[in-house]
Amino acid sequence: MKQTRRLISSIQKEREMANIQGSSSPMIGGDGSHSYAKNSTFQKAVLDAAQGWMNEAINDKLDFTVLDFDSSNPTFRIADLGCSTGPNTFFAVKNIIEAVEKKYQTHFQKPPLIEFQVFFNDFNGNDFNILFKTLPSYQNYFAAGIPGSFYTRLFPKSTIHFAHSSYSLHWLSKIPPEIVDSNSPAWNKGSIQCTGYSKEVANAYLGQYKKDVNMFLNARAEEIVGGGLIVILIGGRPDGIFMSQTSTGVVFDLLGASLAEMANLGEISDEKMNSFNLPVYYATPKEIKEIIEENGHFSIEKMEQVTHPMVMAMKMKNMSILEIVVSSLRAIFEKIFTEHFGNEEIVNKLFQRFAIKLQEIYPGFHKIINHCIEHFIFLERKI
């Protein structure tokens, strides 16, 4: 049940990011979510593992001496970057505070009361009204909403002790322009994602991803105090595996194939089809490691990988899971498709085609051994 909620939250989060990529309007209401909850349960405690690692990391690495923490007037500042509208951000924050509080109590002898200030960040278009209205009635922290892209500066210098970002950083700030430029060798004609088969396309996607992650790390390097910590959870793929060789990549390719069929039938123009790409990049552990090391501001304290919960869902031989895949993919990407094609009817047809295609390959689908993964990345700001 807990995993189901998290899968749904992951989907909601992805949908939110999709909405934001597409426009600044807030996300569509969470209709349909409950039906997911009713139809499935998942066994593996993916995010419980992440939570365990986070607690461990805070216990091992949070050093109040290094943080130059003012114990006479102790305010500990936490940022959740890409918080969406809750409630997952509230669970994450609660967990972080408990772990920090525990460490604080063991570090100092009879310390004064520590106060927490929590900054919930997301794009200006995020529904902060919902976030604020659903704040837990009991909060042991002072809450703040921070509007703006986390690819830019959001906080004054050296004011954040702990940052957290979940399900957000694999969304690109934009589609690299060469991907949709018919005169470029990186033109991604006939595909809607970074399949991995074209080196030029892969380089363009990776190039944008590098730029984005660097912007993120450079901004955080200014804001996070020396010795401060950051935990990132993002989607990715295993080393040496192309996106199209993963189950999520296969699903994206089916979406692309559905679009291509519609173009062949004249339901959409070739131009519209070829100019559409998903603004997400699933990096490998090696790529991520290289970007962080080249950036140089943070030391990697821990990197772990777990199977993406949506993939786990798909592995279950259960038709209701198939429905979930279709619904959740639609929930995540509908807005982007609708904005690009300018027509809801087209999006309906697209997902009808997609559902049929998915059903066709579904009997063998759970055998696909390459799965997208979740990266758990734990960094410390160098002093």
Complex with a second copy: residue 157 or 199, whichever CB lies closer: 157
Q: Which stretch binds a second copy (CB under 8 A): 128-136, 236-244, 320-328, 357-365?
A: 128-136
Min. distance of Cβ 161 from a second copy in angstroms? 12
382 binds a second copy (CB under 8 A): no
66-82: b (≥16 Cβ within 10 Å) or e: ebebeeeebebbbbbbb
Distance CA 216, CA 219 (A): 5
363 binds a second copy (CB under 8 A): no
Of 171, 274, 150, 160, the closest CA to residue 215 belongs to 150
Q: Which two tokens stand for residue 247?
A: 């189950």
Complex with a second copy: residue 160 or 259, whichever CB lies closer: 160
What is the DSSP track for 111-134? PPPPEEEEEEEE-TTS-HHHHHHT
Complex with a second copy: residue 159 or 359, whichever CB lies closer: 159
The backbone torsions φ and ψ at residue 219, rounded to the nearest 5 degrees and listed phi first, read -65, -45
Min. distance of Cβ 124 from a second copy in angstroms? 5
The single residue among 48, 105, 142, 226 that binds a second copy, judged by CB under 8 A, is: 142
36 binds a second copy (CB under 8 A): no
The single residue among 29, 31, 38, 73 that binds a second copy, judged by CB under 8 A, is: 73
Min. distance of Cβ 153 from a second copy in angstroms? 7
Complex with a second copy: residue 158 or 318, whichever CB lies closer: 158
In 78-198, alpha helices (H): 88-107, 128-133
Min. distance of Cβ 5 from a second copy in angstroms? 24
**Residues 14-33: x/- map of binding to a second copy (CB under 8 A)?**
----------x-x-------
Distance CA 320, CA 324 (A): 6
Distance CA 291, CA 375 (A): 14
Distance CA 107, CA 114 (A): 12
322 binds a second copy (CB under 8 A): no
Q: Which two tokens stand for residue 351?
A: 């997902």
By rule CB under 8 A, what count of residues binds a second copy? 30
Distance CA 366, CA 338 (A): 30
**Residues 105-124: x/- map of binding to a second copy (CB under 8 A)?**
----------xxx-x----x
364 binds a second copy (CB under 8 A): no
Distance CA 169, CA 108 (A): 35
Complex with a second copy: residue 157 or 317, whichever CB lies closer: 157
* Strands 298-307 and 373-381, bridge-based pairing: antiparallel
Given the structure tokens 């970074």, which residue do they identify? 194
Distance CA 237, CA 170 (A): 11
Angle between helices 46-61 and 2-22 (to 10 degrees): 80
The single residue among 157, 189, 286, 382 that binds a second copy, judged by CB under 8 A, is: 157
The single residue among 49, 143, 257, 263 that binds a second copy, judged by CB under 8 A, is: 143
Min. distance of Cβ 65 from a second copy in angstroms? 18
Q: Identify the H or E element spanning 348.
A: helix 344-365
Min. distance of Cβ 277 from a second copy in angstroms? 27
The single residue among 61, 107, 153, 357 that binds a second copy, judged by CB under 8 A, is: 153
Eight-state DSSP code of residue 72: T
140 binds a second copy (CB under 8 A): no
The residues of the shown chain that bind a second copy, judged by CB under 8 A, are 24, 26, 73, 75, 115-117, 119, 124-125, 127-129, 132-133, 135, 142-148, 153-159
